[in-house]
């Protein structure tokens, strides 16, 4: 059978591949015969070398962009977080005052003796006479709104500053009514005490 020059050249190349595989001693040569490259050849770069060679790094501009984005997010989130904390503290403080006014009224009615709640606006503090401290230790019932967890301040009581009082008589009725304003940062809430019933609500 006549074979042209091209067929003869291909036959010679294939024979060379098989000869290289048998002389190499690497059994993978039999599986890769026809690839014209021995797996053990030093000319083939290792996978780790090729991967590391193509691995991209982080540029300075990309780092600066990431830092800038974090700064913008912080500038937006921090004021909102501060406002949320102030709102929560203000709610806790006003709820505590309302609960303590009710506590004083109930104590006056149950003991048939007057109970006096004294507010000191300058120190954001109030006391209740004739009621033991919540920690059951000796001493008066004292709440300081500027301390944790409230961190609030009294703005005014009955529209006044200084020291203001309200007295619940033996029937639990108050001697006056009016407003108590409490603040946390720029936020404020008002407690209204009914002069007829002594009930207090937060507006």
| pLDDT the model gives residue 76 | 80
Asked whether residue 76 is domain-assigned, the answer is: no
Residue 115 pLDDT greater than 70, yes or no: yes
Q: Are residues 109 and 157 in the same domain?
A: yes
Q: Which domain CATH number covers 130?
A: 3.55.40.10
Distance CA 34, CA 36 (A): 5
Q: C-alpha angle with apex 77: 73 to 80, nearest 5 degrees?
A: 160
Q: Are residues 124 and 197 in the same domain?
A: yes
Tell me if 179 sits within 8 A of 159, measured CB to CB.
yes
Classify each residue of 13-24 as buried b or exposed e, where b means 16 or more C-beta atoms within 10 Å of its C-beta.
eeeebeebbeee
Q: Are residues 95 and 42 in the same domain?
A: no
Q: Is the pTM of this model over 0.85?
A: no
pLDDT confidence of 55, banded at 50, 70, 90?
low
Tell me if 134 sits within 8 A of 72, measured CB to CB.
no
Q: Are residues 151 and 195 in the same domain?
A: yes
Q: Are residues 40 and 127 in the same domain?
A: no
Asked whether residue 66 is domain-assigned, the answer is: no
Could you list the residue range(s) of the whole structural domain that residue 101 is in? 87-202
Q: Which residues pair with 115 in a beta bridge?
A: 168
Asked whether residue 152 is domain-assigned, the answer is: yes
Q: C-alpha angle with apex 24: 18 to 29, nearest 5 degrees?
A: 55
Query: Percent of the chain having pLDDT more than 70?
Result: 70
Q: Are residues 176 and 114 in the same domain?
A: yes
Q: Are residues 50 and 92 in the same domain?
A: no
Residue 4 pLDDT greater than 90, yes or no: no
Asked whether residue 82 is domain-assigned, the answer is: no
pLDDT in tens, 7-48: 555 455 545 545 544 445 554 544 444 444 555 544 544 444
Q: Are residues 186 and 109 in the same domain?
A: yes
Distances (CA, A) of 168 to 13, 139, 200, 202: 112, 20, 13, 19
pLDDT in tens, 128-183: 999 988 766 667 899 999 999 999 999 999 999 999 999 999 999 999 999 999 99
Q: Are residues 45 and 116 in the same domain?
A: no
| pLDDT the model gives residue 33 | 45
| pLDDT the model gives residue 74 | 81
| pLDDT the model gives residue 53 | 54
């Amino acid at each position: 059978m006549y074979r042209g020059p091209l067929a003869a050249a291909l036959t010679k190349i294939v024979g060379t591949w098989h000869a290289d595989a048998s002389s190499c001693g690497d059994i993978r040569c039999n599986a890769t015969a026809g690839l014209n490259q021995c797996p053990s050849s030093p000319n083939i770069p290792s996978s780790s070398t090729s991967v590391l060679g193509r691995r991209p790094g982080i540029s300075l501009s990309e780092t600066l962009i990431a830092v800038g984005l974090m700064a913008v997010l912080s500038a937006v989130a921090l004021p909102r977080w501060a406002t949320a904390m102030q709102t929560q503290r203000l709610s806790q403080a006003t709820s505590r005052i309302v609960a303590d006014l009710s506590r004083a009224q109930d104590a006056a009615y149950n003991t048939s003796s007057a109970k006096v709640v004294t507010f000191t606006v300058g120190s954001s503090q109030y006391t209740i006479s004739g009621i033991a401290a919540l920690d059951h230790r000796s001493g008066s019932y004292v709440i300081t709104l500027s301390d944790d967890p409230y961190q609030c301040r009294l703005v005014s009581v009955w529209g006044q500053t200084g020291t203001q009082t309200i007295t619940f008589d033996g029937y639990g009725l108050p001697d006056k009514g009016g407003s108590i304003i409490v603040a946390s940062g720029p936020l404020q809430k008002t407690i209204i005490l009914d002069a007829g019933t002594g009930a207090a609500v937060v507006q």
